Amino acid sequence: MEQILIGFYALFFATGFMGVAALYLLDLRLRSQLLKLLLLVQFLFLIAMGLILVYLYLQSLTLPDAGRIETTIIIM
């Protein structure tokens, strides 16, 4: 389960960073205000995903169950 969760986060981060790059390049071409807003939303999404991952990791360090991440998800 831990490998699946890490893969899930890696997939979202990879597609998130690719989305940021694509939106940035499109913004350079079109200079649209909507694209700037979408880029901001994408950055906020990536920051939130990163904070959740850090929280789950730190929470798993304090659990007596050998620090398993899926136990943390069940508790939440």
2-38 pLDDT tens trace: 666 666 666 766 777 788 888 888 888 888 888 889 8
**Token couple for 18:** 């690719």
pTM of the entire structure?
0.60
Distance CA 44, CA 59 (A): 22
**What is the rounded CA–CA span in Å between residue 35 and residue 39?**
6
Q: How confident is the model at residue 74 (pLDDT cuts 50, 70, 90)?
A: low
Alpha-carbon span 34 to 47, nearest angstrom: 20
Quick one: pLDDT at residue 6?
Answer: 65
